[in-house]
Chains A and B, each alone.
Chain A
């Protein structure tokens, strides 16, 4: 007996609807968010380390600027690749629509890349005094650059799961998490153990806070809105994204938190590096799951 024949009279079955668009923002957007988090996050971390551990952090000016420059370029490259008409990208700059987070983000990201290029040049010239002055403005600009994707997601009226200010908090935490993880790996022998301990604290705390927010949305989100409840079903029970969601939570947040604690008690830099690698890999999974699941919900 077909499904529609055994349903109660109060139930209903869609027997024809052709308007399910599938995944519109695919993995290209995941890489976009992931790379942007690293590109802005390392800037935050260098700014912090130059104040807390100036001796060892001063050796990382060039490394940090190069890493940030590279990842912001990856972010912009994947943004471009995701466009269906990439050769019309210039329209954003010549026909800007200022209510759109995409427009504002494009201008800010371009300015950010320009300043990063300047930082690389200043570091290469070993002009530390000017570098530190520019770094202040780069750090300030890195905040809206990392937040603009949250604003874009909030503008997606159709995707109730992406709420402000939750997404803003998650974007900043993602930048702190990936920035600290990247700096632990980039720092190598140049960073003192104390500086790495500081990065470990940032890594552990940002993982904890991000995990709390995800769990709060997972548990309490469905109590507020039926669309959120329907979306969360994709990561609950036998949901098609349940495994990926929990894999992401474990790799990005739970294991790195435990490893950071273990590295402090055992004074092991290797364990801290493992935590950093897991956090960086897992962040891509977490971001991808959160990007895809609201797109699975039929809008009609």
Chain B
């Protein structure tokens, strides 16, 4: 079994339902996110459009976080998920530095690394991840990549020319795919990040980073 995720970016409307569901399900502390939706605006007014990209751990086949973790706190489980044992983590932040997707953070409450686990605890009880359940347009598709009859496998087969992963040049072989994603949505260097330009005002951080 190899579990994987696929997001159809044509369907995603940036409602952030997945983000909130993830926060509630996994009790993710303030200022930290296991899953977040990035907004990128393209074009010149009035010819503008906004893209929405849900970003979470890619559960890579060749995961740099698993390799760099000195105590195997980050480890593979049988269904292909890169899971984390917070009781074992020493908080060296090597995984945060290694992940090319910025998917790992230091939990300010436990002082350990944390990230999306594809809701491994729910999957163990035969339930779907919280973000999949919450999505109103079924943009999040989750399932077994090794099973040709699963929804995700069928979706990949039907959209073969339009499947992308983030940063394929890193050689991590992510098990998280995007359909209808452009360079702007998936490449962080393809867009500007002006200071003080966040929607919903200034986002503060209380993460214990940098000289904690």
Which among B89, B93, B198 has the highest number of chain A CB atoms within 10 Å?
B93
Interface residues of B in 49-93 (CB under 8 A from A): 50-51, 55, 64, 67-72, 88-93
Q: What B residues does A19 contact at CB under 8 A? A: 33, 36, 38, 55, 102, 105
Is there a chain B Cβ closer than 8 Å to A261's Cβ? no
Query: A100 near B102 (CB under 8 angstroms)?
Result: no
Interface residues on A, range: 35 or more
Query: A21 near B36 (CB under 8 angstroms)?
Result: no
Give complex CA distance A80, B135 in Å: 42
Instruction: Given the known inter-chain contacts A13-B40, A24-B96, please indicate yes or no for A227 contacting B189, CB distance below 8 A.
Output: yes
Q: What A residues does B101 contact at CB under 8 A? A: 158, 299-300
Instruction: Given the known inter-chain contacts A8-B44, A9-B43, please indicate yes or no for A82 contacting B92, CB distance below 8 A.
Output: yes
Q: What B residues does A4 contact at CB under 8 A? A: 41, 45, 48, 194, 197
Q: What B residues does A23 contact at CB under 8 A? A: 209-211
Query: A92 near B94 (CB under 8 angstroms)?
Result: no
Q: Smallest Cβ distance from A92 to chain B, in angstroms? A: 5
Q: What A residues does B199 contact at CB under 8 A? A: 15-16
Query: A95 near B72 (CB under 8 angstroms)?
Result: yes
Q: What A residues does B50 contact at CB under 8 A? A: 15
Which of these binds chain B: A42-50, A83-91, A120-128, A213-221?
A83-91
Instruction: Given the known inter-chain contacts A9-B42, A103-B70, A299-B100, please indicate yes or no for A14 contacting B94, CB distance below 8 A.
Output: no
Is there a chain A Cβ closer than 8 Å to B172's Cβ? yes
Query: A85 near B203 (CB under 8 angstroms)?
Result: no
Query: A21 near B207 (CB under 8 angstroms)?
Result: yes
Query: B41 near A156 (CB under 8 angstroms)?
Result: no
Query: A11 near B192 (CB under 8 angstroms)?
Result: yes
Instruction: Given the known inter-chain contacts A5-B44, A157-B64, please indicate yes or no for A17 contacting B192, CB distance below 8 A.
Output: no
Is there a chain A Cβ closer than 8 Å to B190's Cβ? yes
Q: Smallest Cβ distance from B126 to chain A, in angstroms? A: 30
Residues of B in contact, count (CB < 8 Å): 63
Query: A85 near B111 (CB under 8 angstroms)?
Result: yes
Is there a chain B Cβ closer than 8 Å to A117's Cβ? no
Is there a chain B Cβ closer than 8 Å to A101's Cβ? yes
Is there a chain A Cβ closer than 8 Å to B7's Cβ? no
Q: What B residues does A295 contact at CB under 8 A? A: 97
Is there a chain B Cβ closer than 8 Å to A155's Cβ? yes
Chain B residue nearest in CB terms to A91: B71
Query: B205 near A22 (CB under 8 angstroms)?
Result: yes
Query: A102 near B197 (CB under 8 angstroms)?
Result: no
Which of these binds chain B: A25-33, A183-191, A201-209, A273-281?
A25-33
Chain A residue nearest in CB terms to B104: A21
Chain A residue nearest in CB terms to B203: A18
Chain B residue nearest in CB terms to A11: B192
Instruction: Given the known inter-chain contacts A100-B67, A159-B97, please indicate yes or no for A6 contacting B44, CB distance below 8 A.
Output: yes
Q: What B residues does A26 contact at CB under 8 A? A: 209-212
Query: A7 near B64 (CB under 8 angstroms)?
Result: no
Q: What B residues does A84 contact at CB under 8 A? A: 90-93, 106, 111-112, 208, 212
Given contacts A14-B191, A21-B102, 18 further A-B contacts (CB under 8 A): A12-B184, A12-B191, A17-B38, A24-B97, A27-B211, A91-B70, A91-B90, A92-B70, A92-B71, A96-B70, A97-B72, A100-B69, A102-B94, A156-B64, A157-B172, A158-B102, A295-B97, A298-B193
> Top 9 nearest A-B pairs by Cβ distance?
A84-B91, A299-B102, A23-B210, A157-B64, A102-B70, A12-B191, A16-B39, A84-B111, A85-B91
A-B pairs with beta carbons under 8 Å apart, 18 shown: A4-B197, A12-B51, A13-B41, A13-B42, A15-B50, A15-B199, A17-B193, A19-B38, A22-B205, A23-B210, A84-B90, A84-B212, A88-B88, A91-B71, A100-B68, A157-B170, A227-B189, A299-B188
Which B residues contact A (CB, under 8 angstroms)? 33, 36-45, 47-48, 50-51, 55, 64, 67-72, 88-94, 96-102, 105-106, 111-112, 170, 172, 184, 188-194, 197-200, 203, 205, 207-212
